[in-house]
């Protein structure tokens, strides 16, 4: 009676097959590792290995439903106060601001796919928030999705510049990516104007105008915030805009505490979506968290740039504690 070996390399069963079988028995049929070990006639330790392999290979998807987060009490209040269609509030979990940032990025990554549908054209801004979010998106494929870079590229080589953000989001969502092949800011408004008329750039700006959804973060108006460190604005630029009442930055554009555009010399030299166009999208997803972002978030929310918000509990409380 020659017993057929179950060793992975032997037998008629191909290598990964037994791994899948173990995963199925465990996650779908609800057997425990002992029962699986008996059925497959291997040791329980081996079953542990199979299951680990299955997880590593991404055979198992564990996702958290979005409802409990959006239904969160704070989410409801945020929607009411800032006229949002939905908000996604992540628990603080008692961790540091660093951890909270991470969690919000993951939360946004978790939520985003369910906000998109086939044929959407999603504009993507830039920044550490957007970049980290993109990292955490579980790859899915959304039919005929187009991802469009909303802001020109950064002069300084930067880990989370606009083209990298949009490319990563597109990659994770299996989408086509329209990059904006121009610097975010040019030395003179004339050069910017010329560039805007270039056929290639014009087509890309056209794509920006016609995207229906937007994903963006906000920047604060400090001298150490990304708007300066990325080389988009000089310290003088920043001072000038702050003097005019700037309270925050969306897609590289300055806005005041009411969210209204603060226009100035830099604007003419920039290539990318402007405040008016951003406000016109049918969906605007704002991802932001942190004490330092509070004012800028408030400005962006008041300005009506966002229809959807992802943030943390403590940030949500800060927003709600401010007088309207």
98 part of the interface to a copy of itself, by CB under 8 A:
no
Burial of 253 per CB tally in 10 Å (0-12, 13-18, 19+): buried
**Contacting residue, 4, 5, 11, 17, with a copy of itself by CB under 8 A:** 17
Q: Could you tell me the smallest distance in angstroms from the CB atom of residue 139 to DNA?
A: 23
* Stretch of residues binding DNA (CB under 7 A), selected from 47-55, 159-167, 176-184, 266-274: 47-55
- Furthest-apart CA atoms within the chain: distance in Å: 89
Judged by CB, which is closer to DNA: 34, or 156? 34
97 makes contact with a copy of itself (CB under 8 A): no
Asked if 10 is part of the footprint of a copy of itself (rule: CB under 8 A), the reply reads: no
x/- letters, 10..29, toward DNA (CB under 7 A): x----x--x-------x---
Nearest to 152 by CA among 256, 259, 267: 267
Work out whether 85 is an interface residue with DNA (CB under 7 A): no
**Where are the strands (E) in 150-202, listed by range?**
176-178
106 near a copy of itself (CB under 8 A): yes
- Compare residues 173 and 221 and give the one whose CB is closer to a copy of itself: 173
CA distance 70 to 115: 12
- Helix, strand, or coil here: 249? strand
Q: Long-range contacts of range 262-269, CB-CB < 8 Å, 24 or more positions apart?
A: 264/237, 264/240, 265/189, 265/237, 265/240, 266/185, 266/233, 266/237, 266/241, 268/189, 268/192, 268/193, 269/185, 269/186, 269/187, 269/188, 269/189, 269/191, 269/192
Q: How many residues does the chain have?
A: 324
DSSP states along 214-239: EEE--B--STTSHHHHTTSS-HHHHH
Give the total of residues touching a copy of itself (CB under 8 A): 39
Taking the complex as a whole, the smallest distance from the CB of residue 24 to a copy of itself amounts, in Å, to 6
CB of 46 vs DNA, minimal distance in Å: 4
Q: Which stretch binds a copy of itself (CB under 8 A): 9-17, 150-158, 193-201, 203-211?
A: 9-17
Interatomic CA distance for residues 126 and 302, integer angstroms: 21
Binding mask 49-68 for DNA (x = CB under 7 A): x-xx----------------
- Site stretch for DNA (CB under 7 A), options 46-54, 175-183, 242-250, 281-289: 46-54
Among 33, 37, 69, 216, binds a copy of itself (CB under 8 A): 69
- CA-based angle 204:205:210, to the nearest 5? 95
Closest distance of CB 30 from DNA, Å: 9
Q: Does 7 bind DNA (CB under 7 A)?
A: yes
Q: Whole-angstrom distance between the N-terminal and C-terminal Cα of the chain?
A: 81
Site residues, a copy of itself (CB under 8 A)? 14, 16-17, 19-21, 23-25, 27-29, 39-40, 57-65, 67-69, 72-73, 90-91, 93-95, 103, 106, 110, 117-118, 143
Site residues, DNA (CB under 7 A)? 5-10, 15, 18, 26, 32-34, 42-46, 48-49, 51-52
């Amino acid at each position: 009676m020659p017993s057929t070996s179950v060793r992975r390399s032997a037998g008629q069963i191909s290598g990964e097959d037994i791994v899948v079988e173990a995963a199925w028995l465990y996650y779908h049929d609800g057997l425990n590792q002992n029962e699986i070990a008996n059925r497959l006639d291997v040791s329980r330790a081996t079953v542990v290995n199979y299951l680990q392999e299955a997880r590593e290979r991404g055979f198992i998807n564990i996702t958290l439903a979005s409802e409990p987060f959006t239904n969160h009490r704070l989410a409801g209040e945020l929607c009411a106060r800032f006229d949002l269609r939905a908000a996604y509030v992540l628990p603080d979990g008692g961790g540091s601001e660093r951890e909270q940032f991470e969690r919000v990025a993951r939360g946004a990554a978790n939520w985003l796919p369910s906000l998109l549908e086939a044929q959407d054209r999603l504009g993507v801004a830039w920044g550490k928030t957007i970049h980290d979010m993109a990292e955490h998106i579980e790859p899915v494929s959304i039919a005929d999705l187009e991802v469009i870079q909303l802001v020109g590229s950064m002069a300084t080589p930067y880990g989370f510049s606009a083209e990298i953000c949009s490319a990563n989001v597109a990659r994770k969502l299996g989408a086509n990516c329209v990059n904006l092949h121009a610097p975010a800011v040019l030395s003179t408004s004339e050069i910017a104007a010329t560039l805007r008329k270039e056929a290639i750039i014009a087509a890309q700006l056209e794509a920006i105008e016609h995207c229906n959804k937007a994903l963006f973060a906000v920047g604060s108006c400090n001298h150490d915030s990304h708007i300066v460190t990325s080389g988009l604005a000089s310290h003088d630029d920043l001072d000038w805009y702050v003097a005019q009442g700037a309270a925050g930055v969306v897609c590289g554009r300055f806005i005041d505490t009411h969210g209204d555009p603060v226009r100035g010399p830099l604007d003419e030299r920039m290539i990318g979506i402007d405040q008016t166009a951003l406000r016109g999208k049918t969906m605007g997803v704002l991802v932001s968290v942190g004490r330092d972002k509070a004012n800028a978030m408030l400005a962006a929310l008041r300005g009506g740039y966002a229809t959807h918000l992802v943030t943390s509990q403590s940030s949500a409380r800060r927003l709600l504690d401010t007088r309207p």
